[in-house]
Structure 1
Amino acid sequence: MSLDSHSNLWVLGGSARHRERMSSELASWGLEAVGIPDPPSGLLDSQILDPEPDAERLAAFQHLGKQRKSTGTQIILASTRALTHPAPSPLQLESSLLHLKAGQKCDPDALQQQLISAGLEEVSQVHARHQFARRGGILDVFPTQALDPLRLEFFDLELDSLREFDLDSQTSIRRLNHAELMLSAPAMEHKVGDWLADTDTIIALEEGIKNASLIFTDNPSGGALMLEAYGTPFSHFNAGDFVLQGAQQSTVFHHIDQWLAEQWTIYIAAGSEGERERFRELAGTHLPESNYRFLDLSIPEGFVLRTAKMAVLSLGELLGRPQPAGGSNRLRRLEKVRSHAAATELDQLNEDDLVVHADYGIGRFRGLTAGENGEEELSIEYRDGSTLHVPIDHSHLISRYVGVGGKAPVLSRLGDSRWGKVRKSAEAAIMDYAARLLRTHAERDSKQGYSHPPDSRWMWEFENSFPFTETVDQAQAISETKADMESSQPMDRLICGDVGFGKTEVAIRAAFKAVTGGSQVALLVPTTVLAEQHWRTFRERMSDFPIRIDLLSRFRKPSEISDTIRGVAEGSVDIVIGTHRLLS
């Protein structure tokens, strides 16, 4: 299959989680993909529309609009129904954009009036989409389609610089040479399919998609356009299996020998020279390097293309430590939280609050003062009236005092060695507690747990019947929970989240996976009302499948309770939901 320089590659099918993972893996291969999210469906009148999916859709169309003006192939990921969803035309999209470039002539007053006329809300500080804030020669604006807000700095009537900035910390992220403001969303009078050119190519991840040039499937029904794509036989490997167990090594080399005998091409994906060298040592004389080729990249899982006689093996998968897709995004979010933790803590401090300095102990916060160089400093009062001035960039050493028992602590004395002794004692107690935790986890890891089978066809259908698009964190929680269930190690996972952020769906999918794998599920809830709510939610969610879900609570009749208990004992009840009665 070949593409000219002006054609795009459309990959249609799979779940939203699958497409997000595919985008991450394509990035590992050095390929950029644009995902077009589906519009929200099944929204109730009482629910508030989340602006993020719409912003992502508009940003995707904006990216496609730029691509139409340049050469190069663009990869587009979308659902099977995406081509029929509403979309703006390229002309409508272009007419809704305001182009800005650093160094151009631009009147900030005229731009401010243009934002007001477009319906943007003027605020003192931007904290949401469709808002702008003006502070002299600086204008912050969060356009409809942008993933991050923009900061425009003017020098008289010249646009001096453009920057993206972080909504939480209000600090700049990166400098831009040009930017496009979508002041109002364009009319959605066309379909996504209208963006599909005659020269574009469609790859389908499932059957039933019209005009597909190629279909990837693991359950082919025949046809010249279908390409069977499978995972490798080594996806069940745990850490150490390939290195420590001779039987597992023999399995790997046996499969590779069979492939080589049939004239297959074998690739080993390894992200570093150290990994490649380690594989050479493990392969030894079993597999000469002339029989395979290294790929300089890290992918979470390998794959097999039987028709093409090609196998791509992930070294991380062989070693039992595949890297989950989207890990880099998670690390970026963690780094963002760490970098702004100090600023958040300062925002929560009030004058006279008790605080703890890591080096000097407990003091009383007296507010912010100007230092010798005019920079702000934190003033902390200690015993005997001594005051410590802490620069803002050292504020990470300060935290709010959290005590127990309601008794006010004694302030530390500057220059006293007592705080150092208290800190060392606390550190020793923490290390002792950490050692006990490690010992507990080591004992737990040494035990053999129950390994649930991989996802079935029913699981795929069930996940795709979810009427909403999973959030990134929700998709991650689901993926990691399922991975825990398939592992032979005992599961030990706590999922936390605010009300309405999708914890129940994580539990529903875990329960469905367990039931379709031949197990029964008990869901313990704290209150009778919550048990009733979960019972109804589980039944509605699994109504398309032959799964029996019963309830144990004081709202049930004695005959119903007896029938449920008997069903649990006989195995006819797949899922039972209840309060503490479950334990009696």
Structure 2
Amino acid sequence: MVYQSNIYEYLEHSDSKHLLICKDDKEAKQISDVANLLGYNTFVLPDIRVSVGEDLRAYAEEVQALFIQLAGYAKSKRKKLLVSPVRTLLLPFPKAEFFESMMIEFGESLDIPGLKEKLYQWGYHFTDIAAQKGEVSFRGDIIDIYPITSEKPYRISLFDEEVETIHYYDETSQKRLGDELESLEITPAFLALDKEEHEALRNRCEHSPYDTFVKDIDSLGLWHLDDLAQNAFEMFDAILTANLDEELQEIYELDRPMVERKHFLLPIIPEATKYRDLEVVDPNKLLESHKGKQITILAKNESIVRGSQLSFFENIEFVYQDGIVNILGQERLILSLNKPFKRKKVKKATIILDELKPGDYVVHENHGVGIFRGIEKREVLGATSEFVTIMYQNEDTLLIPVSNLEVIDRYVAEGGALPVLDRMGKASFKKLKEKVKEKLFAIASQIINLSAQRHLKKGIVLKTPEEHALFMSKAGFVHTEDQERAIFEMLEDMQSGRMMDRLLSADVGFGKTEVAMNGIFVAVKNGYQAMMIAPTTLLSAQHYKSLKERFYGEEISVAKLDRFSTTKEKNSVLKGLAEGSIDVVVGTHALLKAKFKSLALVVIDEEHKFGVKQKEALKEMSIDVHLLSMSATPIPRSLNMALSQVKSFSEILTPPTERQGVRTFVKSYDDKVIKEAILRELRRGGQIFYVFNSIAGIEEKKKQLLDILPKLRIAVLHSKISAKETEDEMLKFEDGEYDVLLSTSIVESGIHMPHANTMIVDGADSFGIADLHQLRGRVGRGGKEGYCYFMVTDKERLTDNAKRRLLALETHSDLGSGAVLAFHDLEIRGGGNIIGEAQSGHIKQIGYSLYLRMLEDAIKELSGQDKEVSQQIDMKLSIQAYLNEELIEEDRLRLELYRRLSLCESAGEVYEIEAEIADRFGKPDTVTRQFIDVMVMKVLARQQGISKVSSYGENVFMEFAEEGKERVVLKARSKDDDDIIATAMNYLKQNSENI
């Protein structure tokens, strides 16, 4: 354990440049807080716990952070200090000369081929969209680059080869930000290597003896630096900050080839004689009793000081900076008002990369399920346009003009189920849609009627008691902003006099139960009862355990009711609820028959997993009490908005502070790798999930695992095993009776298994990216780092696409990174969950996206929200209009823009996308501008009830959706494109003003 007082006393009198070695990240932060206070320029290395030869792609962020800190240290001219966790020092440290950087300035002329070459040697990845650190994109006269040292990526606009403007841009929306910049600094994404060094390193990696999925610099570069690196102990004077014997012993046992034993025979910082560490409970008492001393107060800003209600004395010095230092000495007192660091919110991707690729299934709202074949140019009536081609049964092909892409959706179904292709021109899809529509109206009206009934009733007023603030502070962790918001929104509902009907969505382990417990606490302190119901015994047992711990010492009686309760216990609980002697009850559907004396709050976890009859009973129970429903799947924004009329909604997107990411490795299947992964987890006292998605072969797989490790205790689970047996085995696994849970992909989504922190997915290439991300989220739940191994049978036979997806998962192992990769599929599923499993048959036939759109429409229609009847508009102007591939080369980027343009509901939105195109790709050319005009006309035509805009020669025709309304014929000056557009646009704009 590190003592800040020791560090303070040592650094106060030390001038030599030092490397301070500590145990882990947490200690490094405590040391840097002290060093910063003493005016050191402090550089903290990340805690990288990696074995020699391991795939470094899974540690990409930490390796970047290591290089940034080492480069900063090398360049700093001030009094400086390097702080490093002990395990990081086992890595080779690149020599300082490989951290050079280059400047690009406004007005400078660039040698583009030379720049490309240099960035390639410096480790940059060339992509269509630069959205991650270390990526660069060259598009005509625009260069986007995201240096690893920069908070935001840069966009450079060129005039020929001269730098015309430099801006930051937002990596999620891809739009420019703020004012022009004078210059930018480009640091290497890996190291500043020249051509020969880069070639030699690449060669060493390609022929590396280490087994990684891809043998390249990203995965292996650091292990093959050879003479480009040095040993950390030879580069710096080092000293230990505390006794690290245990850690050092562990390192020796791992037999590190890079580090000799002598390196660790280092001095230890002596114990402080003038200072000691402080545990601060009441700052004012401390100030009062030490007011004669020199006092330093550490706070991030003045508002923290103003809000702290401190007693002020003359001899107080305020230091406004981050960090927490609490030390008492003979002559001085240092106190900190700062709170521990909070986790950043996980960003949701706004641009969905990977949206549609040739070969993907799509659903056309009139023709049904087909296969997307790509974009192609066709000439129709003498004008060139682009079309999306979709193939149906019997190889029939449908061409959809790119101006009408809103009629198709990507096909997504549960568990990646494959659909049956429809036949073009057959009425069966239309009938199916009608059938689904009826069902959806029934569901939507149920949601709305129930809500209307609740709105008419007066709610139980539950006032927030004074002791609630104390209850929150006893949580044992710092609440994230989202958690706090969700708690206060819920409490507001509960004291408003209306019936609460709130849906809380958050990933597992992000703290939904904590929010629910605050609601339960308030209900009980107001003299009422609360119940919490979950679909499985395992989940309810976990909730019961959490509630017992959290309400310990609060004089709140908690009981549970499930199939493990004996008849005697059941009767006793039911009696206690009826009499009011039990405040809170947790259980499964066994609770549905209970009678309460004064129930005020019902919390339902994973409501969509209950059966139809159970749902009905739940609705009856919760009709005149406050209701909080919790779900672990994200709810789509559009559906959330439609539902917002009838339900209130909270979302937690921030991971808890102590939660760690999951290291992800992609490997070719190998018994040695499996053995090492299992032993690595068992060595730290943990358990393993092994996912093998074939019921037929699962027993054979168990035998294979026992051949590798005969003493393994393995539980086997799959969908053919009864629910009762599944649950019993899961409970045994949770109690530590098994080492490995070998199962199909049914690893329960809502389950919190803090001891299982390694997952092995066998045959990972046959899973969808969303499923893999979901599975990976099952580990790394406690304070321990999770490991996830995606095993593929034959990496040589993988498609490029499968390879790219697996590598993306390996690189994006940070929490919530599924945002970019998997959020779309997950979000769509979340929509299915609201409605319940019974609908999955229909969803399978028409896909989630279309299903959801129809549900939103049904809810809007029934709840009287303004719903435009979105009729299709046929744009058949014989003009050249499309997004030019010379401007936007990548098909998938053009497709994404076509799709977004076709979904625009106002001319303003279309012009916004035009500005974005100019920003991202350069000035639009004539055909691109003309396509933008066509999309503006389409929006205006929809607002005016026009169903078709077409032209022939110099005549322009407007046809109306309303029967009996005569078509309008306009005459252009000539049949040139610009005259046709001007004529149609003038008519539509004038009419638009008259509406």
Q: TM-score range by the shorter chain?
A: 0.3 to 0.5
Greater gyration radius: 2
Give the TM-score normalised by structure 2. 0.29
With structure 1 as the length reference, what TM-score do the two structures score? 0.46
Higher RCO, 1 vs 2 (CA within 8 Å, ≥6 residues apart): 2
